[in-house]
Structure 1
Amino acid sequence: MFSREELERYARHIILPEIGGAGQQALKSARVLVIGAGGLGSPLLLYLAAAGIGTIGIVDDDTVSLSNLQRQVAHGITSLGQKKTESAAVAIADLNPHVRVIEHTLRLSPENADSVICGYDIVADGSDNFETRFLVNDTCYRLKKTLVTAAILRFDGQLSTFKAHRGPPHPCYRCVFPEPPPPGSVPACSEAGVLGALGGVMGSLQALEVVKEILDLGDSLSGRLMLYDALRGDFRTVRLRRDPHCRICGGGSEPVSPDCGAETGPPGTGSPA
C-alpha cells in the first residue's frame, strides 16, 4: 500500500507500536476538513500533511496579506495577494506530494455547510468568528462528524474535541457556549492582537488531537477543554458536561446519517498535491 519513499517518509510513525503500518494506512485513508488557513490553520495543515493524512480539505475565502505573515506560517512573501487556499495547497505540495488537497475557496454558510462538510471524516475548526464556529458545530453534530476546535486571542489559547453525535456523556460546543456572545463583546485578533507563536502551539496541538481521533489513540479531549496561558507557561484542563437542554444535542434532537453521494468527494477544487 505504500511506496518505498512513503515507507521512509513515515518511518518514525511506523516504528511506533501504537501506530505501525495499519495506523499509517488509516491516516492515509482519512479525509480531514480544515476550516481556516490562518494562524491556527497554517500549522494544523502542515502537520496533518506531514503526518500523511490522505485527503485534506481547506475552507477559506481570504487572501494573504502582509499582516498575516507574523503567524500564518503556511504563507510567505510570494503568496501576498493569493488566495489562502491556493497558497496553503502549494505549501502542502512542497511538504508532502502524497497528500490530495481540495480547495474550498468560499465562506461557510447555512446553504453550503452540509455539502462541504459531508464528504469528510473529521473537521478541524480554526475559524476566526463565532458565526462560523456555531455553524460548524451544528453541522458536525447533524452529520455525525467529530469536531476538533481551537481558538487563540492575545496570549491565550483553548482546544477541545466535540463528538456529541456519539451520545452521552459527550457534549457539543453549544453545551459549553449556548449562543454567540453579543456583537463587539469579544474583540477579534485584529483588534486585540495575538502572539504569533501561540498559533503554532495551538495549531500543532489541534493536529495532534485530529491524529489521535483518527487512530483512536490515548484519551480524547471530548468532555474536556484545554486552556493555555502563554505568559504563565501554564496548561490546565476544565471538565465539560453535556447539557440535557442543549438546543442542538439535547432533548429530541438527533443526528442523521449523511448521504454524501458519489465517491468523487465534496465540492471544491481538487489538487493532488
Structure 2
Amino acid sequence: MFSSAHVPRIAITGGTGFVGRHLANRYPEDRVVLASRRNGVDVTDIDSLTRAFEGCDVVAHFAGINREIGTQTFQRVHVEGTAAVIEAAQRAGVRKVILLSFLRARPGTRSGYHQSKWEAEELIRASGLDYTILKAGMIYGRGDHLVDHLSRTVQTLPLFASVGWHEKPIAPIAVEELVDVAVAAIDGRLTRSTVAVRGGETLMLSDAVRRVTATVGRRVWVIPAPIVFHYVLAQLAEWTMRVPLLAKAQAMMLAEGVVDAAPPADELPDDLAPVGRFDTAAIRAALPDAGRFGFADLRGRG
C-alpha cells in the first residue's frame, strides 16, 4: 500500500480520453502525467513513453480504440502499444500497471477488438510487473459514447432498432465507479488480478434507450432488427462518421450481451463492487448538450 502521506505519481496513457480524463481529475495536477497522442506521446514509442513514465509509481494504461483508421489499428494500439508500455514501465522503474480492458475480451472471435484486447491482457499478465486488469463493461458518463449516442439518436429519429430478435442484457457502469476501482488498484489493492467491472443494474439495451428517451423528454419506437443489420450500419458509420454512431466491435458486444466476463474473471470485493443504477439522475449527469446528429458529425466535415 502507498502510505497516506504519499500521493502516488501516475502516468495515464490515453489520458485525454474519456476514462483517462476522469481518472486524472481525482489527483493533483502535479501528480499526473498525461501520455497521449494529443500531448505528443505515441503509445508505441518506447523512448517517449519511458521519459513520460520517469518518476511515476503507477501507469494506468487506458489508451484504446474501438475502430481502425489508417495506421491506428487494433494490433498497433492495443498489442504493440501494450508491449511498448510494459518495456517503458520496466525501464522507468514503475511499480504497477493498470490495464483497462473489455469485459468480454477473449481469443477466437471474429473481432479484432476482442482479440487484441485479450492479447494485451496476456502481455500484462506475463510482464513480471504488479498489475490490475480491469475487464470493464459498457461505461457511461459525461463525454461517453453510450448516453451521448443514444440521446442524440432519439433526438434525430424517434426510432431505435434493438440488436437481434432476442436481446441480450447489459450492465452499464458509471465512469465514476470504474475510476473508484482504478484508484483502489493504484493504492495497492487488487494486486496481480484480473477483475470484472460491471454496473450495479442489469437491463436490456431497449430499456436503457427508453430511459434515456424519457430523460430527454422524447418518445421512441423500439423495433427488433437482425444482427446483420447492425453490422452493416456499423460499417457504414465507420466509413462516414468522425465518431461512429455504432462501431463493428460495439455491434458484436451488443449482440452477445455485456454482463458476464469471458473468460471468467475475479469478482470485486464487496466494498468496491459498483452499485449505481442506470436511472434518471445518472443519465441526466451523463447527457451531452442537447442536439442531434448532423452534417458536422460526418468525416471531413465540422
The structure with higher relative contact order (CA 8 Å, sep 6+) is 1
TM-score by length of 2: 0.33
Q: Normalization by structure 1: what TM-score?
A: 0.36
Q: Which one has the largest radius of gyration?
A: 2
